[in-house]
Amino acid sequence: MRSASAPCLSRRILGALSALWAQVLIAMAAGVVIGHVWPDFGARLQPLGDAFIKAIRMMIAPIVFCTVVHGVARMADMARVGRVALKALVYFEVVTTIALAIGLMGVNLWKPGVGMNIDPAHVDVSLVKGYIAQGRGQDLTSFLTQIIPNSFLGAFTDGNVLQVLFVAVLCGFALAQLGERAAGVTALVDQAAQMLFRIVGFIMWAAPLGALGAIAFAVGRFGAGSLVSLGKLLIGFYATCLVFIFLVLGPIARMAGFSLLKLIGYMREELLIVLATTSSESVLPRMIAKMEQAGCDEGVVGLVIPTGYSFNLDGTCLYLATAAVFLAQATNTPLDLGRQIALLLVLLLTSKGAAGVAGAAFVVLAATVASAGSIPVESVALLLGVHRLMSEGLTPVNLIGNAVATVVVAKWENALDERQLKQALGA
């Protein structure tokens, strides 16, 4: 019996290790060891993580375009497209407002910045001048006008997901109006999407290397020193993220008829990749495919996921509220209830206004602090060392939030195959 069970156990272990999530987890552990033992070498591994993210970003625009065009063309009902978009935007606004409120409550209860007594005049801002300048240049008006690309191809070359979404919806409308005459083009777009997803599958083979490089760089570059100096802020922020996931997204999932924990298990590979790379974009193409496999209608997924990457950044909202009040506490800037409500209103705008910008969360923070006027904008330099560590918390929340939003909107639209969802989640 033992001799028969040993090969069986070995096969199970090898099968588990062959899974992408296991390989990424092993790579992350190796990255921590390399970054801790050989910090200089670990810091030099940054190109591995950057190259992986760059390869995935290369695929985002064409995949979003093909998915949305095919989904909208297949819907045929233009009123339904508008209805899905409106429901998604209402959901996004309500949930992100809740995220901002929870972030404000958490940082006020935890008070991580109280007692630091930082003088902004003595803060080195040389490394964050670019972020501050970029943040000051962002507002809601410029954001809305930037949704329209300068040219049709410019939507694909600029890397702005909302521009691609805008062009894709127009193309989908046009194909839907052409009807049977455009059936060949619609089928071709669908085939192109399948080809692009295969390419993403090839790129994902490099995910463990990307995870190793990103984690080794983070540990080697910032080390344990950042954790110690701003540990109270990090612990409070991670706790706030968990509170939001289980006390806000959890009940929303239950009301929609599915288990949040099972959804998180279904997304484990994507969550590990996001944790390692601190980039939600690194799994956007896979999330589109996974939500369709979970029974959500292709048209709903094509509209909700890309839009959510700009308008439904729950983790980013938690970060912005926490970081802004922390900076006020650290610099002894008074923020009474009225000023904090005003800050929340500013955050509702700026959290959308710099979407799609590289290093968006940090840029939006600079824009928020500059817009609020009361908090010294130079103080954002205090967070430069731990921003990446805080991203370890905010990016998974963004990902989970968009997955929940997709299922909820699909259910509202009667565009959810609940039996397929239960099969996918193992319910």
Summarize the confidence of residues 220-248 as an average pLDDT.
81
Least confident interval from 29-38, 111-120, 350-359 = 350-359
Q: What is the 3-state secondary structure (H, E, C) of 368-409?
A: HHHHHCCCCHHHHHHHCCCHHHHHHHHHHHHHHHHHHHHHHH
Is residue 224's pLDDT more than 60? no
The per-residue pLDDT for 128 is 55
Average pLDDT score over residue span 289-296: 93
Contacts of residue 73, Cβ cutoff 8 Å, sequence gap at least 6: 172, 175, 176, 182, 186, 189
Residue of 111, 41, 76, 28 whose CA lies nearest to 322: 111
> pLDDT grade, residue 144 (50/70/90)?
low
pLDDT given at position 23: 85
Please tell me the predicted confidence (pLDDT) of residue 14.
43
Give the lowest-confidence range in 14-28, 85-99, 258-272.
14-28
Determine the Cα–Cα distance for residues 325 and 288; give it in Å rounded to an integer.
35
Report residue 22's pLDDT band, with 50, 70 and 90 as the boundaries.
Answer: confident
Q: Could you tell me which residue, 286 or 366, shows the higher pLDDT?
A: 286
What fold, for 19-425? Proton glutamate symport protein (1.10.3860)
Lowest mean pLDDT among 49-58, 70-79, 261-270: 70-79
| Mean pLDDT on 191-204 | 89
**pLDDT score of 103:** 94
Cα-Cα end-to-end distance for the chain: 33
For the chain, give the percent of residues with pLDDT over 70: 84
pLDDT score of 16: 45
pLDDT of residue 133: 54
Distances (CA, A) of 367 to 47, 139, 210, 357, 370: 29, 8, 30, 12, 5
pTM of the model: 0.84
| Residue 122 pLDDT | 66
113, 335 in Cβ contact below 8 A?
Answer: no
User: Hey, is 415 helix, strand or coil?
Assistant: coil
| Lowest-confidence pick of 1-15, 227-241, 293-307, 312-326 | 1-15
Predicted pLDDT at 119: 76
The residues near 360 (Cβ < 8 Å, ≥ 6 apart) are 313, 316, 354
pLDDT confidence tier of residue 356, bands split at 50, 70 and 90:
very low
**Could you report the per-residue pLDDT of 357-385, keeping only the tens digit for each?**
445 677 778 777 877 667 887 788 778 76
Residue 10 contacts by C-beta under 8 Å, 6 or more apart in sequence? none
pLDDT at 95: 95
Highest mean pLDDT among 1-5, 103-107, 129-133, 224-228 belongs to 103-107
pLDDT of 389-414, one tens digit each? 888 889 999 999 999 999 999 999 99
Per-residue model confidence (pLDDT) at position 61: 87
228: confidence class by pLDDT, cuts 50, 70, 90: low
% the chain with pLDDT above 90: 29
Residue 191 in this model has a pLDDT that exceeds 70: yes
Can you tell me the mean pLDDT for 17-42? 83
Q: What are the DSSP calls for 122-154, one per residue?
A: GS--TTTHHHHHHHHT--HHHHHHHTS-SSTTH
Read off the DSSP letter of residue 160: -
Query: What phi and psi, each to the nearest 5 degrees, are found at residue 6?
Result: -60, -50
Task: Locate the domains of the chain by residue range.
Answer: 19-425
* pLDDT reported for residue 91: 95
Q: Report pLDDT for 259.
A: 95
Reported as a pLDDT band with limits 50, 70 and 90, residue 130 is low
Q: Is the pLDDT of residue 56 over 80?
A: yes
Q: What pLDDT is attached to residue 280? A: 82
